[in-house]
Structure 1
Amino acid sequence: MKRRAVFTLDAEGRVDSWSEAARLATGYPAEEVLGWHLSDLLAGGVEVAHRVLTGAETAGDHEEGASWVGKRGAGFQANVLVFALRDGAGLLRGFAAVMGEADESWRPSGARGQDVVEGITDAFYALDRGWRFTYLNKTAERLLSGSRETLLGKNIWEEFPEASDLKFHREYHRALAEGRTVQFEEYYEPLEAWFEVTVYPSEEGLSVYFRDITRRKESGERLDQTLKELADLKFALDESTIVAFTDQRGRITYVNDKFCEISKYSRNELIGQDHRIVNSNFHPKDFIKDLWRTIARGRVWRGELRNRAKDGSVYWVDTTIVPFLNSRGKPYQYVAIRHEITDRKKTEEELRESNALLNSVIEGTSEAIFVKDLDGRYVLVNSAAAEIIAGRPCAAGEVIGKDDTQFLPAGVARPLMEADREIMASGETRRVEEEVPVKGAVRSFLSTKAPYRGDSGEVAGLIGVASDITELKKAEAALQEIREAERNRIARDLHDEVLQDLTYALQEVQLSGTAATPEGKGVAGLKEAEAALNRSVRGLRSAVHDLSLEPDAGGPFRRSVEALVELNRQMNPGCRVDLEVHESFPGELPGKTSKELLRVVQEALANARRHSEADRVKVFAGTDRVGKLRVEISDNGKGFDPEKVLAGIGTRAMRERVRALGGDLTVTGAPGDGTRVTAEVPYGADGVAEAPAQRARVLLIDDHASFREGVASVLRAQPDIEVVGQAGSLAGAREALASGPPVDVAVIDLGLPDGYGAEIIVSLRAANPRAQAVVLSATLDRAEIARAVELGAAGLLHKASSMAEIVDAVRRLGAGETILPLGEVVELLRFAGTHKEQEQEARRALESLTDREREVLALLAEGLDAAEISARLHISAKTERNHVSRILSKLGAHSRLQAVIFAARHGAVEIS
C-alpha cells in the first residue's frame, strides 16, 4: 500500500476523524466508522489494539505490522503507526494513526508529525502569542476560505473581525491566559457554519483543531424539533385519547393517563394484565374472536367496545387496534387507540327510544301526518297519510320520495303544492280546509301545516297534520237543515195560529173597552188585559222573527241589520234605537259571518229590550285599525255588577258564535251605567273571514320530548286549542309560565326529572287563577293521584290514554268543565289526608328506634344474617335477637324482611 491513510482516535481509542485516504483503503465511509474502536478495524482485535495504544501512550509512538479488516470482510496487510497527542499540561488527548508501509520517513521526526496533521480530517491551525497564523493545514484552508500564502503571518482578529464578538475571541484569550485546553461550539455567520473547536495552549501560542459540525447541529435541531413534536403529540393523545400497548399475547405493557382515568385502575394494576380486566361481558364470544383473528393476521381492527371500570361503571370506547409487525410479518405487539363515546351511545339509545315512541304516537293516531321537503316530495308519512295519498292501503315506502302529482290529478295536485310552497316561503303556520279525491270520492280535510327548519335555522320543508272532516261536515249540514226546518215550522205555527188568536183577542178587548158602562166599571181590568195582550203580541212577533231569521249566504249585512233595528224599534216604541254603519264596514259578508254577527246583534238587542230598562240603544258596525270587524251594541239602561251577575245562556251563546268566527266578545257594564256588548272578528284582505283562532292555550310538561311533540301535533290540529309552550322539567315549566304567553290548561307528567310534576300547579294558578291542570300518570297509584288532586289537579289520565281522550280532557277543562266527579275528588282528598297520617305514624315509629337499633336495621337491609350482625357489631347472639325483637315491635312488623321493607319504603334504609 503506497498511500498512507491518516485518522485520529480519542483517548479511549475510538475513531473521531477519518480521512478520504482511510475510506479508500478500507471501504468504510466516515459516517459509518466514526465511533468505532481501533480493535474493530484490526484483525487481531482487542489484543493488538491494546498493545498499539499502550505502546504509543508509553513511548509517544508505536509501529508494527497489522492485518486490517476492510468493508464486506475484505482484509489487507499494512503497518499501523500511532502517535500519542497530549495537551499543554501533558495530558493524553487522543491518538493520530497512520495506516501504510513502514520506511524511514515514518521514524519519529517533525516532518512525520506534520504529515499526520495534514492527513487528519480536522482543520488545524497554529497561532503565536501575537495572534498571527504560523501554520494551517489543507482542511483549515478549505473551511476558512483562505490560502496559506494570504493568512500566514496575519492577525486572526484582523482577518476575521466578526469573530471578535463571539466565543472565539473570549475562549482563545482564556486558553492562553489560563494555560489550559478549552473546547466550545460556535456559529460563524460569514461562513454560515457551526464549528466544534479545541484549543491547546503552549509556550509558542495556540494550536487550534476545529471541524464543521453544521450538519450535526442541524440534525440535532431537527431531532429536538421531532422530539418536541412527539412530546406535543403525546400530550395531545394523553388529553384526548386512551392509549394502551400489549405484547403478542395481549398482556398490557403500557397505558397512558387517560386509560387509568377512565378505567379507574392505577397503572400498576393494569401493567401485566390483559384486557379482560375491563371486559364487561357485553359482547358475544364470536365478536371477541373476530377481533383477535383480525389483528393476529396483521390487519387493523376498528369497532366500538363496551367496557367496565374498576368501580363497576360502564363506558363505551371507539377503538382502533393496530398490530406492529416484525421482519417476518408477524405481530409482536399491538397498540389500541380509543376515544370515549359513552355520551354518544346514551344519546343514540335515547334517540332510538324517542323515535320508537314518536313512531308509536304517529302511527297510533287516526290523523294523517306527513312531512315534505322543499320540492314537495314526501319524506315521512304515517299509515293514515299513506292510504289517503295513494288512495288505497299501502306501505309508507310507496309514498316516500314522491310528490302529489304522482297520486292526484294535476288540477288538484298543483294548487296543493303551490299552497305548501307559500307556507314554506312565509314561515307561518296555517290551518286550511282542503278537498282531495280519495278512492273515487271527494273528501274534506282540515289540515294544519307549518314549515320545519333544519339545524341551520333555514326552512327545510313542511310538516302537516290532516283530519278527515267529511262526515263531520255532512252531519253539520244535516243538523243545520233540521234546525232550520224546525225553526221555520215553529215560527209558522206561532204566526198562523197563536199570534192570530192573540191578535183577535186583543181586538175584542179593545172593542169591549169602548163599550164600557158610563160608570167605567170593568174598564181598568180591560186596560190591564189589553196591555198584557200587547206585550204578548210583541213578544211573539219577536220570537217569530228570532226563529225565522236566516240571511241568505253572502247577503248584504247592512240591509239585514237595518231591518233588524227597525223591527226592534217597532217592538219597543218607548226606546230609541240608533244604527251607525261606518263606511269602512264591508257591504257584503260571507254567509256564515253575516249570520253569526246578526245573531249577536239580535241577542244583544233582545237583552236590552227585556232587561236593561233603557230608553236609548245604539248599534255600531265598523272596523278597527288592524282591519278587524267591530260590532258594538250599547245602552243607557240600569247596567249590572260583573262580580255578582253570572253570564246567562244568551251571553254564552253570543260568545260561542264570535269564537266560532275566530273573534272575541266582551260584555262590560256597571250598575246605573248601562251595558256594552262588543264583538271583534278577524277579516281577511280578500274579503273572506279568517280561520277561527285557537282558544284553549295549552302548556305541555313532560320530560319525553317525542311524547310532547306527538301530543302537540294532535292538539295543534284542533281549531279551538293552541299549544303555547312546552317544557321538560319543573324548572322549564316555571320559566315558561313566568316569561311565556298566558296558559289556560297544563298537561303535566307527574314523573319529572327535577321533582313531582303536580307541584307546578301552584305556579300555574299564580299566573292564571282560572287555569286548570290535567295530570298524566304511568301507574295510577292512588296515593300519587290523591297528592295531585290535593295540589289542585282537575283531571287525571293514564299515560297510555288515547290522543282523543287527551284532546277531550283539554277541551273540557278549557271550557270550564270538570273531569273528576265531585264525590271522587272528596274521596281522594280524604285518602290523601289518611296517607299523610300514615306517613307521620311511620316517621314517628322510625324515630323511636335507638341508635343501636338503627344500626341493626341497616345491617338487615345489607342482607346480613343474625351471626354476621353479631360479629359486625361485636355483640352476642342474644343481644342481637333482643334488638330485632324491639325493632319488630316498634315498627309493627312480623318478620325481619317486613321491617326492612317498611324502613326502605319510608327512606330509612337502602336495600343492597
Structure 2
Amino acid sequence: MNNLSVSWDGLGLRGRLLAMIVLLLVLSGVVSHSVQLWREADDYRADLSHDMNHTMDLLEISLMEHAITGDFAAIQRALTLRAQYSLIAEIQWRDPSGVVVKAQAIKPETAAYPPWFHRLFGFNPSEQLRGVVVGERNYGVIAATFSSVPLENRLWREATSQLWQSSLGLALLMLVVYLLLGRWLKPLKSITAMGHHLLAGDYRGGIAGSSRFVPEIRDMARILDQAATEVGRLVLSLSEQRRAIDNAVVVIESDLKGIISYVNDKFCEVSGYSREEVIGHDHRFLNSGLHLREFFDGLWEDLRRGEVWHGEVCNRTKSGGLFWLLTTITPILGPDGKPLKYISVRVDITQRKLVEGVMSQQAQIINQTHDAVFSTDSKGTLVSWNRGAELLFGHDGDGAIGEPVQFIALPGEQERFYRQVFLGLIRSSGGALETRLAKKSGEPFDAYFSLSLLKDKEGMEIGVACYVTDISARKRMEHKLRESEMRLAKAQQMARLGNWEWEIATGEIQWSDEVYRIFGVDRDTPVTFDLFLSRVHPEDRELVEKSLTAALAREVNYNVDVRLFPAGGEVRFIHAEAEVEFDGGGKALRMFGTVQDITERKEIEQEIRASREQLRELSSHLQAAREEEKATIAREIHDELGGNLTALKMDIFWLARKLPPEMEAELEKTRSMADLVDTSVHAMRRIVTELRPTVLDDLGLLAAMCWQASEFTKRYGIQCKVVMHGEEIAVEGAYRIALFRIFQESLTNAARYSKADLVLVDVWREHDKIAMDIVDNGIGLPEDKAMDPTSHGLRGMMERARTLGGTLEVGSAPGEGVAISVRIPFPSRSQPMRSFQQEMRGGQHD
C-alpha cells in the first residue's frame, strides 16, 4: 500500500485522470462481460440439456432391438459408435441379468480454460439414465455420462476473443483520452512554467496560446500575466534606482553605537572589504588616523541632536590605502524625535583629492623639466614659458610671453605652422605630431609637439598647453635604423630567412617582414601564437608544441622542420631554430629565432627520393625479369638439351649393341661417348639448378636452403647449418626467390671473403615478419666495407629486401665474423604449410 501511495502521489493531474478513467472503464467492462458470459452459459446449459435428452432417445431406439434379442455384441457396437459424439464421456448398458457393456470417448477433449473459469461458468451435467421397456418388461438401463468441456472451451474462446477486442478498444480509447488530456491540461504547464519564471526573477509575463484555453484557465492566465507585468515593472524600477545609487555613492547603515548593519556594493568596491568583514563591526576600524579626536566629537554631537552632518572623511582601505568620502550622515528619527539609526551617503572623492595633490606637484615638475612646456590663451598668445623652453629655444620668459605661438616656427613657415599645426590640433581637441621648429639663432631642429586644451569648470576653452621636446638625435638614429633594417630585410629576402622574437610573459610576438611573407600573413595583422599555430600543418602541430615545451624546459634546443598552410597558397616547408633566454631563477623570459623557407630544398629532396624509388622499382623489375629469364632458360635447357642428350645416349647404347665384339676400338669409343654424354647431363643439371633450383619450386624454401647448404659444404668444405623454428614459413613468388637469393649471396660472400669454417642460418616468423639471420665465424669486414659503393653483393641483398618492404642489416667487426639480419613483412595471403623439417624428422639440417 505504501508503494501504491507513493506511486499515486508521484502522478500528475493528467496521469491521475487517466488512471481513474482506466479503472472505471475496466470495472464496467468486467461487469458487462461477466453478465454476458453468464447469459451465454445459461444458453449453453439449455443446449446441453436438449442434446443429452436427444442423445438418450437415439440410444434407446438404437438399442431396443438388440436388448430384446440379447445381442450384446451389437449393443457394444452401437454404444461405441455413439460414444464418438463429442459431448459423451462414457456410456453403459446394464442388463437385468447383471451384464454391463461400456463404451468411452476415444479422444476426450481437454479443458483449455483455467480452473476458476469452470468454477464461475461450468455446467457440471449429471449422469443420465434411461430404461429400455417394451410393454411392461424392462430389458435394461442406459447410463450416459456427458462432458461439458467442449461447450466450456467454446465459451472460453468466445470470452477471450471478446476480451482482446475490448482491450484493443480500451487501448485506442485511452490513447485518444491521453492526447485530449494532454491538449486540455497543457495550459496548466504553461502557467506553472510562468510561476517558475517569476520565482527566478523573469517578470516578462506572457503565456503563448492563452486565447485557446478554456475560459477558467484563460482568466487565470490573464490575471497571472497582468500580475507578472506589474511586479516586473515595480522590480525594474526599484532595481534601477538601487543600481543608480550603488553606482554613484557609498551607502552605510549603522546603529546608535556606530555598529555597521548594512553596506552597499560601492562601499565594498571602494574599501576592498566584503560585507561579511564589515557588518557587525564599529566604524572605528576604518579610521585613517588623519582626523583629530575633536573632529569625531563634533560629528557625534550633531548626530545625537538629530541633525544632518556634512563633511569630508578619510578612511583606510583593507589593503592599507587611503580613500576620501564626501559624507552626508542622516539620523533616522523615531516618533519621539530621537535617532533610531544612521544612514550615511558618501561620494568617493579620492580621485579629486589625488588630482589636487598631483596638480600641486605638477606645477613644480613643469618648471623643473628640461623639455619645453608653455601655454597660450585662446588666441595663441604665449602666457607661460618654463625653464625648459628657455633652454630649448633660447628665448627667455620675458622675451617669449606675449609673443604669438608661431614665432617658434621656421622662418617663412610661421603662417603654415599656425594654421595647419596649431589650429589643426585644436580642431582635433588636442593631439601630438612631429614637426620642425627653429631656435632663436635660426637653427632648425626636429621636434615632438604636443597640444592639450585648457578648460574652465564649465567646460569652456580658455587656452592651450603645449609640450615640445627635441627629437633630432632620435631622428638621426631612426634614419640609420631604417637603412639597417632595409639592408637586413633585403638579405633575409634573398636568403628566404626571417627572424622572430617571442616575449613569453606577455605573449607578444614580433616577426620580420620575411617571416610575414613566408607565412603568407599581411604585415598589419596582429601576430599571436594561435595565428602561428593555425598556419602550421595539422599533422605537424603536435611536433611544434612538443618541441617548444622541451625548449622552454631546457631539455633540447628548438629545431624543427614543419609544413605551413599560408593563406591562399600552397603547402610550404620551413626550418625553424630558436634559443630561449632564462632569468637567474631558470624562468623562461623570451625566445628568439629564425625561420627559413626550405620548400625548394624539400622539393629537390622529394625529387631525389622519387628518383631513387624509381631506380629501386626498376631494379626490382630487372631482378624479377632476370629471375624469370633464368627460369625460362633453365626450363628450355632442361626440356630441349636434356631430351637431346638422353636420346643421344640411347643411340650410343643402341650402336654399342650393334657393333660386333671384335671391334674393340669402336666399342671403346662408344663407351667414351656415353661417359661424355653423362658428364654433359650432369653439367646441364648443375647449370639448370644454379639458374633456378627446381627444389625451390617443388619443395619450398626450407628444402631449397637445405639443398644449397649441402652443396655449399660439398663445394667449399665449410659447414653450413640451417634451422627453421616452428612450422615452415610458406611464401611464394618474389618473397621465396628474394630470401633464397639473399641466402645464396651470403654463402658466396662467406666462401670468398670470410675464411670461415661454420655458417649458421636461422629462419623464423617474427610476428608479422619473416626473419632470417646468417652468421659466420670468419675474419669479419672492415668498418666501412658494409656501405662501400663497390660492395655490389651486399647492396644487391639490401635492395632485394627493401623491394619487399623489408630491411637487411650487416653487423661485423674485424676478427668477429659477419652477421646478416633480414626482416621482411610477411605476405598477407601466405598461410603455414606442413613443415618440411617435420617430414625430415627434426628441426636441423646440415
Relative to the length of structure 2, the TM-score reads 0.28
Q: Which of these two proteins has the greater Rg computed from alpha carbons?
A: 2
